[in-house]
Structure 1
Amino acid sequence: MVSETYPASGGKLRSLDPEHWQQRLTELDVSIDLFAQALDMAAADIRSCTEFDAPAMPGFMFWSRTNRYLAEAKVHEGWRRTNRDSILRLVHPSSSHAITAISAAGGVGDLDKEVRSKNPKGEAMARLVEKNGQIPLMTADQAIFGKQLDDIPVWFLLYKWQTGTLLAELSLPVKMNGKYVNEWQERLPLALPDLQDPGTDISLLDDPLDSNEPDVDVELLEG
């Protein structure tokens, strides 16, 4: 297939070539299998929710567990996890980029349609998104992450359940309008295998807004 690019939100270019998408995933040290496994395991977990749980529990659990399973799959390769500002980031060993999973609305995985974060985000997310793609300065975070944590570009694993099918893409945000992230430098659709419908609504809430909770880095211990 011949690679083709066309303008995306913010005047950036995006490719229509699936081979290019796969190449970019490899460059980012991730894979479709990684994301499919994390999303599938999170969906299995929320099937334990019942009508006696809080209404937002399935959505919150799906968000949390997806990020957890991504971390558990990659920490043994040197990736590091942080929850600063309640943004569950998984940081590459080189500190070249990070990944976080959030729910999305719109045309997830469809480059002909607009896509945005499903739920409103706060000031910490706005600062983070605006810094994506900028050259970082050496600061106090050097000792831990190799650079200032918020200067590490963060890719979003966007997910959406639609008529029993899970849609997903890995995309690099560059701007928020209002409280929603909706402009992207690059979007990589993910051709997920068929995953079983979780059988419950995960759209009510996916992550908390900014908080003043302390940063916690989780180390997974071998039993």
Structure 2
Amino acid sequence: MSGDEAQVGQGRLAQLGVTKKLFQDALTQATSEARMCTDFDAPAMPGITFWSRANRYLAEQLTDPDKQSPVWKYTRRDSILRVVHPTGSHAITAVSGAGGVGELDSKVRSKNPKGRVMAQLVEDNVKFERSGQVVIASRDEIEFGGELDSMPLWFLLYGRNEDGRLAAELSLPVKMEGKYVNEWSERIPLFTGEDPGFDLGLLDSSDDGDSSDGGDLDFEVRSKPTT
């Protein structure tokens, strides 16, 4: 990435109220915790731990009044872990990516399938982009009702590059192919770190991010026979 591109990225992050260091610190802490998993843990545990801790440490930094002003808010509604900007202009969630994460010349998509709630949020991002409300959608305060679904949702995408090193970008999704997010209106490269030593994207959510709405499971309901 050129110096001009880096400067533009820094300015865009400032508009969104975040910094590269914020994301790097959160993902570095998540890496340290995931590395504590051993072969006695479930096979998916490092990936689940990394996903959960990445969102946790991002939230802890942004909701701490001693570290962040103004203070962000946090929600786990629909099992989508999100930090929400104080003005309600946008939200951010950390998820694993596949492809050229952090490389603007390469394609990237979400590594794991997403459910109906995430699909609706991605579709809504297109509406915000067309209306010019991607950055600022002024609100005096946030009440987690319909407003939560009425703001752009950015992805903190993380993954391992061809060298096995941790890479990250902040991107705004606008389209899904099947259950995978694969088109973005903006992509902001963040950093490339060291090799975490485990599969970052092995199950990065509890249930496609949509466990509370039943996901995409179908159940057959039968009447109990009478005696």
By the TM > 0.5 criterion, same fold? yes
**CA distance, structure 2, for counterparts of residue 199 and residue 143 of structure 1:** 39
**Which residue in the other structure is 1:189 paired with?**
189
Equivalent pairs counted in the alignment come to 195
Counterpart pick for 1:201 among 175, 199, 208: 199
1:146-165 paired onto structure 2 within 5 Å: 148-162=147-161, 163-165=163-165
Q: Which residue of 1 aligns with 2:218?
A: none
Residue number in structure 2 paired with 1:75: 63
What corresponds to 1:218 in structure 2?
none
Q: Structure 2: where are the runs of 5+ without partners?
A: 214-227
Correspondence for 2:9? 21
Q: Which runs of 4+ in 1 moved over 4 A?
A: none
Q: Give the one of 38, 49, 55 matched to 2:43.
A: 55
Matching residue of 1:217: none
Shift of 1:70: 0.3
Residues 2, 113 of structure 1: CA spacing in aligned structure 2 closer, same or farther, 3 A cutoff? closer
- Counterpart residue number, 2:90: 97
Deviation at 1:143, TM superposition (A): 5.7
Letter in 2 for 1:47: R
Question: Shift of residue 85 of structure 1?
Answer: 1.1
Q: Is the 2:122–2:173 contact (alpha carbons within 8 Å) kept by the matching residues of 1?
A: yes
Q: What's the secondary structure of 1:17's corresponding residue?
A: helix
Letter in 2 for 1:67: N
Check whether the contact 1:95–1:147 (CA below 8 A) recurs between aligned residues: no
Match of 2:112 in 1: 119
Separation (CA, whole Å) in 2 of partners of 1:167 and 1:191: 6
What is the alpha-carbon distance in structure 1 between the residues aligned to residue 159 and residue 91 of structure 2? Answer: 21
Q: Is the 8 A contact 1:109 1:188 kept in 2?
A: yes
In the alignment, the residues of structure 1 paired with residue 183 and residue 63 of structure 2 have an alpha-carbon distance, to the nearest angstrom, of: 29
Q: Which amino acid aligns with 1:150?
A: D
Query: Percent identity over the alignment?
Result: 57
Would you say the 8 A contact 2:86–2:142 is kept in 1? no
Could you say what the CA RMSD is over the residues aligned between the two structures, in angstroms?
Answer: 2.4
What SS does structure 1 have at the residue aligned with 2:24?
helix
- Using the alignment, how far apart are the partners of 1:27 and 1:114 within structure 2? 25
Residue 146 of structure 1, CA deviation: 8.9
Q: Does the residue aligned with 2:143 lie in a helix, a strand or coil?
A: helix
CA drift of 1:199 comes to: 2.3
The residue type paired with residue 205 of structure 1 is: L
TM-score by length of 2: 0.79
Q: Displacement, 1:66?
A: 0.3
> Gaps (5+ residues) in structure 1?
4-15, 214-223
Question: 1:95 touches 1:145 (CA, 8 Å); kept in 2?
Answer: no
Query: Secondary structure of the equivalent of 1:172?
Result: strand
In structure 2, how many angstroms separate the alpha carbons of the residues matched to 1:152 and 1:112?
Answer: 28
The alpha carbon displacement at 1:35 in A equals 0.4
- Which protein has the larger Cα radius of gyration, Structure 1 or Structure 2? 2
Matched with 1:7 is none
The residue aligned with 1:171 is 171
Report the residue type matching 1:185 in the other structure: S
In structure 1, distance between residues paired with 2:105 and 2:185: 15
